[in-house]
């Protein structure tokens, strides 16, 4: 985190700023139990505000009651469960006084939590109780209207303990089937369960209609997939029964659009039926196939994208409202638990301003940016922080063309906010309105037709892109493979420009092929320049090749999926893992949506990659747990030695955090042992603000340690570690752009003393290394606990012919500590409070 003006001295520090209170992390066994379950209410305002809408996972639908007291909403979890948390997302008509209650029979209720003088918004309540039914019982409204909830979520331990993995076998195939009707003899019920997508069941053209299958014995049903013919069901229920007479709802769908859909469910029964209540066309109901999966048969690939992925198209009603609802929640939720991904189907979206807050990503679903066009804006500003953009972290925009309303789009971000595969048909402003402080940032594979104006941005890295011009530079602006980039002119202006990027490979991304989700995996480019699109070389993988990981998934299931040969697609959410996620297969893709966050429990390493070719890690956050982990991410085992030059592993938009949301700890955050790895944009951050922050509280000695040979880092941000931020032990390493701050909270000089050296270097090349090269590096000190601390140098390296540094700076931020030198004992010391960098053009 930084506080900057255009070269003006600082007047404040992190320790003086108010930050949002952290939310306690969910326990490892905590699972969302209520979504899709049966809900009832004391009343509804009208037919468009049903009880079921409060448990459907859609922030665009809601339950609303009559305008009187008392009122209640209850959900049937289907079985008795241990309940640990309840979250209520109120609409403007909120409950001021209410109780959270639990019951075994929906008659006798026990109070778990009483709330008085609530103020609406999001209420996350820790509770402790058991029951099948959970309700919110309102006794006093906060407005003259009724009670209105966008979402009512109940969390806890799954009934009967954690579920076994959902199997891959179709338990319904070939089993006896019946239906309420058939269109004619050519479309019998059995056609929907014969495993043949060329045959179908079709009903009479009236409502309601149903088709059911006898599984032969009671099964634990975990997923039901429907493949609709053109005559689809708009409103329907998926139900289970023990005897074929009494039915339990597993899933209620309203406003369905047909095609293929997969629903994760939880329930038992011998009989499964699809019960339609409203047709989507003037014809009957027609299903090519119904697939039923049960527990115990392996991990299923594919399926839906989970509750926090919001898929829209240009005809989506109230689209601006959907963007606004998420932004209102996420604008200042710096250490909150919300995670969201907007996916925009190809088409043209008019008059949209998508404001992007914390842990929110927006992406187009076309193969090229131009397939998805916004005539409007994708905006990041800093109104939540009084015009200061230095904490606008953890968000992203990808694969969209934007025609800005006023000709210029604003993207005022700092670290961990990638801007990839974008086409701005106008200018791009990287500063907040008012041009306050900003500390970013990263652009790749993007085209900006107009001028990019960084204004107050102290540093920025742009890779393999095309721009119409670049306005200015503060301290450190780096370009590689950028058409239209300014020429090399460091230090005045501070531009570092490489004509090409030596090796690059763009990040994998989700897209739509017709109605089918697929993941495109771009190929490696050597000496790249300009954007990779259209016609990006690469390969395409069906979603069925991925385990779609959803909140509540365990490390055991994730590893079972990997062992089964599946890739991983983490949907937005927070994932506690009590064992290491092990990636052992070449070319495995691990892709996150909406800043999906992995938290290692019990001191384990969150993720390890074997010494294999072509693994792609992309788009997720690792947040250190409260028990110290020796490492958080390991790419390759110790002493890895295989040659991966033809097909390297890539680590892209993988961010690491120690502290901030809680008191995390890790000895070393990221270790790269394999050769030829490409680290393309990472922010490895020991928190300097938030919860659980202190010199020993969120202890983390080392940020990034590179042991592999021929490793390339493009866009390396590493900050605030107790000792070395980056150590490079491998040969022929290269870094293009490096940004660092030393730890703010070092208590005194003795705490950072490194033998005879004052302080640990931000970037150290080991003494035994013979070849290394780096371009565009900066280290800043802001020793807020003791401004008298001196840092001997920012960078440390052996002096050898094969080692070269280009364009390096150190900066004292407002005189809060000083550097004696830039590299080793070379470079002028910083001094005073003027926040003026000391610079070296080349070393040695």
Tell me the DSSP string of 222-253: EEEEEEE-SS-EEEEEEEEESSSSS-EEEEEE
Q: What does the pLDDT read at residue 141?
A: 97
Q: What does the pLDDT read at residue 16?
A: 25
Q: What does the pLDDT read at residue 616?
A: 98
User: Pairing between strand 122-141 and 71-90?
Assistant: antiparallel
Q: What does the pLDDT read at residue 307?
A: 87
Catalytic annotation present for 731: no
Q: What does the pLDDT read at residue 218?
A: 76
Task: State whether the Cα torsion 831-749-753-696 is positive or negative.
Answer: negative
C-alpha–C-alpha distance, residues 242 and 61, integer Å: 32
Cα 501 to chain centroid, rounded: 27
C-alpha–C-alpha distance, residues 670 and 142, integer Å: 48
C-alpha–C-alpha distance, residues 595 and 416, integer Å: 10
Phi, psi of 477 (to 5 degrees): -115, 120
Six-digit token pair at 371? 């397939």
Share in percent of the chain as helix, strand, coil (round to 5): 5, 45, 45
Strands (E), 55-147: 63-64, 71-90, 95-103, 110-115, 122-141
User: Pairing between strand 286-294 and 209-228?
Assistant: antiparallel
Q: What does the pLDDT read at residue 560?
A: 85
With a cut of 50, list the residues of the chain below it in pLDDT.
1-29, 160-163
Residue in 130, 483, 741, 773 annotated catalytic: 741
pTM: 0.72
Nearest residue to 827 via CA among 809, 804, 800: 809
Q: What does the pLDDT read at residue 159?
A: 56
Nearest residue to 398 via CA among 376, 427, 371, 375: 371
What residues contact residue 572 under an 8 Å CB cut-off, 6+ apart? 306, 308, 309, 339, 340, 341, 359, 361, 593, 594, 595, 596
Place of tokens 């998805």: 372
pLDDT digits over 476-510, tens only?
A: 999 999 999 999 999 999 999 999 999 999 999 99
H or E segment and range at residue 793? strand 790-796
């Amino acid at each position: 985190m930084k506080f900057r003006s255009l070269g003006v001295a600082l007047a404040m520090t992190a320790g003086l700023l108010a930050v949002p209170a952290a939310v306690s992390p969910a326990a490892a066994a905590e699972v969302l139990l209520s979504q899709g379950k049966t809900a009832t209410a004391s009343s509804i305002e009208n037919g468009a505000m049903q009880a079921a809408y409060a448990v459907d996972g859609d922030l665009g639908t809601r339950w609303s009651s009559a305008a009187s007291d008392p009122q209640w909403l209850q959900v049937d979890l289907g079985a008795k469960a241990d309940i640990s948390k309840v979250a209520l997302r109120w609409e403007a008509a909120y409950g001021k006084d209410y109780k959270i209650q639990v019951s075994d029979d929906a008659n006798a209720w026990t109070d778990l939590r009483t709330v008085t003088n609530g103020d609406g918004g999001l209420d996350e309540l820790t509770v402790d109780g058991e029951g099948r039914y959970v309700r919110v019982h309102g006794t006093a409204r906060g407005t003259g209207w009724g009670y209105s909830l966008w979402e009512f979520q109940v969390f806890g331990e799954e009934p009967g303990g954690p579920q076994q993995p959902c199997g891959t076998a179709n338990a319904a195939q070939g089993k006896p089937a019946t239906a309420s009707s058939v269109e004619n003899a050519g479309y019998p019920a059995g056609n929907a369960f014969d495993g043949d997508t060329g045959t179908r069941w079709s009903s009479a053209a009236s409502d309601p209609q149903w088709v059911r299958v006898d599984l032969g014995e009671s099964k634990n049903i975990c997923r039901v997939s429907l493949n609709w013919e053109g005559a689809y069901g708009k409103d329907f229920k998926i139900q289970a029964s023990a005897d074929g007479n009494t039915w339990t709802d597993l899933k209620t769908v309203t406003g369905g659009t047909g095609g293929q859909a997969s629903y994760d469910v939880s329930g038992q029964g011998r009989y499964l039926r699809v019960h339609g209540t409203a047709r989507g066309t003037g014809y009957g109901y027609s299903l090519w196939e119904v697939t039923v999966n049960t527990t115990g048969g392996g991990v299923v690939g594919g399926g839906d994208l989970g509750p926090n992925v919001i898929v829209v198209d240009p005809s989506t009603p109230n689209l601006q409202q959907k963007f606004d609802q998420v932004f209102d929640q996420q604008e200042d939720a710096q250490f909150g638990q919300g995670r969201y991904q907007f996916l925009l189907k190809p088409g043209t979206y008019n008059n949209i301003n998508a404001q992007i807050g914390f842990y929110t990503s927006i992406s187009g679903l076309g193969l090229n940016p131009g397939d998805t066009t916004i005539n409007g804006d994708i905006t990041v500003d800093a109104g939540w922080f009084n015009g200061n953009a230095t904490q606008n972290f953890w968000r992203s925009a990808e694969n969209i063309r934007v025609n800005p309303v006023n000709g210029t789009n604003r993207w005022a971000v700092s670290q961990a906010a990638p801007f990839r595969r974008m086409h701005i048909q106008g200018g791009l402003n990287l500063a907040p309105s008012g041009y306050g402080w900003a500390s970013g940032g990263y652009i790749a594979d993007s085209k900006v037709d107009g001028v990019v104006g960084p204004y107050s941005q102290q540093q920025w890295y742009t890779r393999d892109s095309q721009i119409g011009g670049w306005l200015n530079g503060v301290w450190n602006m780096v370009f590689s493979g950028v058409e239209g980039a300014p020429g090399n002119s460091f230090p005045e202006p501070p531009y570092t420009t490489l004509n090409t990027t030596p090796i690059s490979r763009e990040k994998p991304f989700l897209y739509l092929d017709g109605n089918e989700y697929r993941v495109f995996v771009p190929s490696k480019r050597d000496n790249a320049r300009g954007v990779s699109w259209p016609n990006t070389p690469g390969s395409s993988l069906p979603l069925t090749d991925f385990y779609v990981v959803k909140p509540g998934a365990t490390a055991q299931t994730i590893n079972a999926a990997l062992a089964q040969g599946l890739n991983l697609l983490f949907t937005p959410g927070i994932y506690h893992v009590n064992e290491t996620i092990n990636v052992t297969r070449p070319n495995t893709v691990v892709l996150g949506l909406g800043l999906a966050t992995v938290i290692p429990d019990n001191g384990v390493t969150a993720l390890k990659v074997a010494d294999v070719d072509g693994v792609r890690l992309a788009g997720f956050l690792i947040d250190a747990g409260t028990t110290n982990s020796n490492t958080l991410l390991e790419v390759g085992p110790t002493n890895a030695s295989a040659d991966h030059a033809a097909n390297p592993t890539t680590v892209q938009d993988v961010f690491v955090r120690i502290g901030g949301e809680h008191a995390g700890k890790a000895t070393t955050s990221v270790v790269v042992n394999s050769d030829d790895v490409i680290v393309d944009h990472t922010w490895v951050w020991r928190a300097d603000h938030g919860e659980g922050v202190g010199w020993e509280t969120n202890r983390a000695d080392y940020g990034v340690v590179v042991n592999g040979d021929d490793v390339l880092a493009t866009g390396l941000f590493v900050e605030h570690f107790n000792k070395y931020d980056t150590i490079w032990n491998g040969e022929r390493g290269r870094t293009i752009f490096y940004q660092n701050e030393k730890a703010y909270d070092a208590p005194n000089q003795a705490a950072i003393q490194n033998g005879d050296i004052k302080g640990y270097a931000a970037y150290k090349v080991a003494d035994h290394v013979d070849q290394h090269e780096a371009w565009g590096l900066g280290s800043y000190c802001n020793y807020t606990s003791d401004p008298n601390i001196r840092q001997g140098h920012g960078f440390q390296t052996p002096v050898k012919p094969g080692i070269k540094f280009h364009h390096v700076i150190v900066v004292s931020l407002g005189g809060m500590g000083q550097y004696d030198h830039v590299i080793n004992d070379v470079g002028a010391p910083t001094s005073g409070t003027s926040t003026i960098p000391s610079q070296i053009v080349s070393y040695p």
